[in-house]
């Protein structure tokens, strides 16, 4: 049965209420609260039961046919929601807004929040990664992009000039899981985000009105950024429907502030996850993350993806990393304190929004307890940022919240004794009454002579006196027992006195739970006053945690402090790939990477599997580490500030868009060529291999010449086209290097050492042999290779590099003297002897010229 097919006039009042709410949230699965369960109906029930593997049942709703229904316990809904939103669905939580006990007729219900990929704020999230929701606002001539992590309160915004591809690349680089777009945006962008990249996209026209959240953007001058942020806030505020004043002032992201690279580079360099299986393990993030707090881990990940370009700030970080390594006793004390600091940013988010529990406040208390020690250590380190200690908040939490308080705020046992007199009195009443119940059991046993009599309690009947079937005959009328319930093996009774005490106990219990909840919410309101300074402290702790992690890895893996070069000179001596070095079993072979003022391009040749790609990757990773403020895996390093990194490493077809390896190669090459500057780094690994040999070689040479003459960016270009090594003679800023290998008795040993000069052999068949292809196949391949090598004649490589420097009209054709001589005669006027002599002279000229 579908919801659209139902005659609503026949529905029960409760189901009509559901239908009205569902009409407002057509794109959401409604979790409709009924007592202790969330129920789903109609299409939602059919869909949810299939995805979550729930039993699909039915419910009478006034129709002849039962309405499809499935349900889950309300206290366990989070894991079910997680599974739905991970599959791209939105879930609307519809709660009872009134206490059923105090309401006559149907309970009022409404949606209290919508949970989507980008709007989660619960404690089950990945603590080491931000969960951003973003928007893309099309201004027709540029794009506004803003993004926020609702769980931490961070808000960012930027403007993107140019084609839509650049905006999409920004979304992919930051791994936004949900994107809101305005209604005038190109539908092809929406389709691309949804189908090609599996991003949840919502179209929304309106922007936020009113001034409740104007503090987020109040000092921003660019109206385009303000509109972009307000467009995103509209969706967030309407979706979450709670207090979101933990959202922080919007930070403007300018491309010049950071070392730029796209999602391809992030993936190729395996910065935050591996290419093979997308795991964090064996990525650069995995290696560097020795942070003790979740905040520090998230800040580290952000910095890996956004290295700095500000020389002063980079060297400031170097100074503190160096100091922490020197003052290792203070560093150990700092690490011990950080180990007891919880995720302040997300705790603050939950406290503000209201979906907190007692454990959150206990974690906040534990964190605040460490702040005085951290403050002392930072002062001794002469750290340039101070932190508050919030002693008044710590004292409040220390004397109020019970250490073993439950997760559920409506079960009581939240507040310590001595904080509230009324609460203490109610607890004394409850305690005294419960003691009376225990005493009553002993007295009744003596009075009646029924030895196995006992006093019990359940939620349905309250307190009762239970007598077994074997002794129920001993119950006399004068005892004043009133039969309440008959079971298979016993009878249950109540007495006026027991009922009176029950009312006192249950009344006190109810009042205690209600009062404790109120006191807990009052404490929360006090803590909310400190949201902004607490967030400031969280930022400082995030940074110092990242810097201590840099110090630890630098000491552990023998990293060295780089020198920031003012000139365009890159000099990495004995450079290693930091991750490969740690995971490989044998000793890692370090290599120098030197591109001084006279060298912009390294043309790298060498056999397959010798380490060309690793050599290129370690260069880029070292630069990223240096511009994060981390020490680097080299014996010494001098590095200029780079503005962008472009990579094309590894072959891959883009099957979704139907693009071949070669088309992907050319698109990525075009991106580098069109966007790189002389301060950029370009890594091209065997560019051109996706097409025919001569096409690929020609394109590779043309690209090298263009980079050399036009862009002048620092470039590493690996190739199997050995003919290209002759370019070193014509391109003054290109140098040949090769990864060496040793061939003995038909077997090859990779030395993994990069040396000057070129090689002219790829050892491809040797590599095939290492892969254990059949011996007969290897021998046949060698025979065929010998035939090709005999046939092959090396041809001169076309190296007219000046073509890029000359205008078309400046290129004057060379005059051939023999052609000029022929054009100077008229054969019709020549005698046969004159023609024969002329032909003889031409032949002599040709012979002399050779």
Which tens digits make up the pLDDT trace of 693-702?
Answer: 678 788 889 9
Contacts of 561 (CB under 8 A, 6+ apart): 318, 321, 322, 631
Give percent above pLDDT 70 in the chain.
Answer: 91
Give percent above pLDDT 90 in the chain.
Answer: 62
The DSSP call for residue 754 is E
Which residue has tokens 């985000």? 193
Summarize the confidence of residues 444-460 as an average pLDDT. 87
pLDDT in tens, 51-77: 999 999 999 888 878 899 999 998 889
How far is Cα of residue 184 from the mean position of the Cα atoms in its chain? 28
For residue 422, report the phi and psi dihedrals to the nearest 5 degrees.
Answer: -60, -40
Summarize the confidence of residues 600-611 as an average pLDDT. 86
Q: How far is CA 127 from CA 151, 236, 277, 307, 548, in A?
A: 10, 21, 21, 21, 19
pLDDT band of residue 660 (cuts 50, 70, 90) is: low
Q: How far apart are CA 746 and CA 759, in angstroms?
A: 17
Does 450 or 742 have the greater pLDDT score?
Answer: 450
Question: What's the helix, strand, coil split of the chain in %, to 5?
Answer: 45, 20, 35
Q: How many helices (H) and strands (E) does the chain have?
A: 25, 26
Helix, strand or coil for residue 38?
strand
Let me know: does 305 contact 174? Beta carbons within 8 Å.
yes
pLDDT in tens, 104-136: 778 899 999 999 999 998 878 889 999 999 999
Partner residues linked to 200 by β-bridges: 178
Helix, strand or coil for residue 416?
coil
Q: How far apart are CA 737 and CA 604, in angstroms?
A: 5
Return the C-alpha torsion angle 241, 247, 253, 257, nearest 10: -150
Q: What is the DSSP string of 136-205?
A: EEE-SSEEEEEEEETTTTEEEEEEEES-HHHHHHHHHHTT-SEEEE-TTS-HHHHHIIIIIT--EEEE--
The DSSP call for residue 723 is G
* Mode of pairing for the β-strands spanning 747-756 and 734-744: antiparallel
Summarize the confidence of residues 494-510 as an average pLDDT. 85
Does 587 or 373 have the greater pLDDT score?
Answer: 373
Let me know: does 378 contact 544? Beta carbons within 8 Å.
yes
pLDDT band of residue 379 (cuts 50, 70, 90) is: very high
State both tokens at 836.
């024969």
pLDDT band of residue 710 (cuts 50, 70, 90) is: very high
In the prediction, which pLDDT does 653 show? 42
Q: What is the DSSP string of 108-131?
A: PEEEEEEE-TT---STTS-TTS--
Let me know: does 779 contact 766? Beta carbons within 8 Å.
no
pLDDT in tens, 410-442: 888 999 999 999 999 888 888 877 787 888 888
Q: How far apart are CA 631 and CA 627, in angstroms?
A: 9
Q: How far is CA 54 from CA 51, 57, 714, in A?
A: 8, 9, 58
Taken as a whole, the chain contains a residue count of 850
Long-range contacts: 310-317, Cβ < 8 Å, 24+?
Answer: 310/257, 311/564, 311/641, 313/629, 314/564, 314/626, 314/627, 314/628, 314/629, 314/641, 315/564, 316/384, 316/629, 317/547, 317/550, 317/628, 317/629, 317/630
User: Phi-psi region for residue 686, left (φ > 0), alpha (ψ -120 to 50) or beta?
Assistant: left
Q: What is the DSSP string of 238-292?
A: HHH-S--TTPPPPEEP-GGGB-B--HHHHHHTTSSS-TTT--STTSHHHHH---S
- Provide the mean pLDDT of the chain: 88
Contacts of 104 (CB under 8 A, 6+ apart): none
Q: How far apart are CA 454 and CA 439, in angstroms?
A: 11
In the prediction, which pLDDT does 799 show? 46
In the prediction, which pLDDT does 749 show? 65
Summarize the confidence of residues 639-654 as an average pLDDT. 80
* Mode of pairing for the β-strands spanning 154-161 and 251-252: parallel
How far is Cα of residue 355 from the mean position of the Cα atoms in its chain? 23
pLDDT in tens, 515-537: 999 999 999 999 999 999 999 99
pLDDT in tens, 270-311: 999 998 888 999 999 999 999 999 999 999 999 999 999 999
pLDDT in tens, 549-566: 999 999 999 999 999 998
Summarize the confidence of residues 378-389 as an average pLDDT. 96
Helix, strand or coil for residue 509?
helix
Which residue has tokens 């060297």? 315
Let me know: does 76 contact 54? Beta carbons within 8 Å.
no
What is the Cα gyration radius of the chain?
38
In the prediction, which pLDDT does 459 show? 74
Whether the pLDDT of residue 813 is over 60: the answer is: no
- Stated as kind and residue range, the H or E segment containing 347 is helix 344-353
Contacts of 609 (CB under 8 A, 6+ apart): 750, 767, 770
Let me know: does 345 contact 153? Beta carbons within 8 Å.
yes
In the prediction, which pLDDT does 223 show? 96
Q: What is the DSSP string of 573-602?
A: EEE--HHHHHH-SSPP--EEEEE-TT--EE
């Amino acid at each position: 049965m579908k919801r659209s097919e139902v005659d609503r006039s026949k529905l029960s009042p409760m189901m009509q209420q559901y239908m009205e709410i569902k009409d407002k949230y057509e794109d959401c699965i409604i979790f409709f609260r009924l007592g202790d369960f969330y129920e789903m109906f109609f299409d939602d029930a059919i869909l949810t039961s299939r995805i979550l593997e729930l039993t699909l049942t039915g419910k009478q709703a006034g129709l002849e046919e039962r309405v499809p229904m499935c349900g889950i316990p309300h206290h366990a809904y989070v894991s079910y929601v997680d599974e739905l939103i991970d599959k791209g669905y939105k879930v609307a939580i519809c709660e009872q807004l009134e206490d059923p006990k105090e309401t006559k007729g149907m309970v009022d219900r409404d949606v209290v929040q919508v949970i989507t990929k980008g709007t989660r704020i619960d404690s089950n999230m990945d603590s080491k990664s931000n969960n951003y929701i973003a928007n893309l606002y099309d201004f027709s001539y540029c794009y506004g992009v803003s993004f926020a992590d609702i769980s931490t309160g961070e808000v960012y915004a930027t403007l993107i000039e140019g084609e839509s591809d650049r905006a999409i690349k920004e979304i992919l680089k930051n791994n936004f899981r949900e994107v809101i777009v305005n209604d005038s945006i190109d539908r092809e962008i929406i389709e691309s985000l949804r189908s090609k990249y599996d991003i949840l996209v919502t179209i929304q026209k309106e922007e936020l009105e009113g001034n409740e959240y104007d503090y987020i953007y109040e000092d921003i001058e660019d109206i385009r950024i303000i509109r972009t942020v307000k467009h995103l806030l509209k969706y967030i505020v309407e979706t979450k429907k709670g207090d979101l004043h933990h959202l922080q002032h919007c930070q403007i992201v300018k491309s010049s502030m950071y070392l730029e690279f796209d999602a391809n580079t992030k993936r190729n360099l395996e910065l935050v996850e591996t290419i093979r299986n997308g795991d964090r393990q064996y990525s650069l993030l995995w290696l560097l993350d020795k942070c003790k707090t979740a905040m520090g881990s998230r800040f580290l990940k952000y910095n890996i993806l956004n290295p700095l370009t500000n020389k002063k700030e980079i060297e400031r970080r170097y100074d503190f990393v160096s100091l922490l390594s020197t003052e290792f006793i203070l560093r150990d004390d700092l690490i011990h304190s950080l180990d007891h600091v919880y995720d302040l940013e997300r705790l603050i988010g939950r406290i503000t929004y209201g979906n907190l529990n007692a454990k959150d406040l206990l974690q906040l208390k534990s964190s605040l307890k460490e702040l005085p020690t951290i403050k002392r250590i930072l002062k001794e380190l002469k750290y340039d940022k101070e932190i508050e200690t919030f002693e008044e908040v710590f004292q409040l939490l220390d004397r109020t919240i019970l250490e073993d308080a439950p997760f559920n705020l409506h079960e009581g046992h939240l507040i310590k004794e001595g904080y509230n007199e009324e609460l203490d009195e109610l607890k004394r009443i409850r305690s005294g009454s419960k003691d009376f119940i225990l005493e009553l059991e002993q007295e009744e046993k003596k009075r009646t002579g029924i030895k196995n009599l006992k006093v019990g309690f359940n939620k349905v009947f309250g307190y009762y006196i239970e007598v077994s079937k074997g002794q129920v005959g001993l119950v006399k009328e004068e005892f004043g027992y009133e039969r309440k319930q008959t079971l298979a093996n016993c009878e249950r009774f109540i007495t006026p006195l027991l009922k009176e005490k029950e009312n006192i106990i249950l009344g006190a219990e109810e009042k205690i739970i209600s009062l404790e909840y109120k006191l807990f919410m009052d404490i929360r309101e006090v803590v909310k006053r400190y949201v902004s300074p607490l967030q400031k402290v969280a930022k400082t702790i995030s940074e110092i945690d990242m810097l201590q992690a840099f110090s630890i890895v630098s000491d552990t893996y023998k990293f060295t402090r780089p020198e920031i070069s003012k000139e365009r000179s890159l000099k990495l001596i004995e450079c290693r790939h930091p991750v490969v070095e740690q995971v490989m079993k044998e000793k890692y072979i370090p290599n120098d990477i030197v591109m001084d003022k006279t060298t912009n391009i390294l043309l790298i040749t060498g056999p397959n599997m010798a380490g060309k790609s690793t050599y290129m990757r370690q260069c880029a990773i070292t630069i990223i580490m240096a511009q994060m403020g981390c020490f680097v895996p080299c014996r010494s390093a001098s590095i200029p500030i780079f503005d962008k990194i472009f990579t094309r490493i590894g072959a891959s077809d883009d099957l979704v868009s139907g693009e071949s390896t070669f088309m992907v190669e050319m698109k990525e090459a075009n991106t580098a060529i069109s966007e790189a500057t002389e301060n950029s780094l370009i890594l091209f690994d065997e560019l051109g291999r996706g097409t025919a040999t001569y096409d690929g070689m020609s394109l590779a040479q043309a690209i090298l010449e263009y980079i050399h003459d036009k862009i002048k960016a620092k470039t590493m270009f690996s190739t199997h086209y050995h003919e290209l090594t002759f370019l070193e003679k014509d391109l003054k800023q290109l140098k040949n290097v090769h990864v060496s290998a040793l061939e003995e008795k038909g077997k090859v040993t990779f030395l993994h050492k990069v040396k000057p000069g070129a090689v002219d052999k790829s050892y491809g068949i040797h590599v095939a042999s290492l892969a254990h292809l059949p011996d007969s196949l290897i021998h046949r391949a060698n025979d065929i290779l010998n035939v090709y090598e005999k046939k092959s004649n090396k041809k001169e490589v076309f190296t007219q590099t000046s073509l890029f420097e000359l205008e078309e009209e400046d290129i004057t054709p060379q005059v051939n003297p023999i052609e000029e001589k022929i054009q100077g005669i008229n054969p019709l006027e020549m005698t046969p002897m004159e023609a024969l002599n002329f032909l003889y002279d031409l032949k002599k000229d040709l012979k002399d010229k050779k």
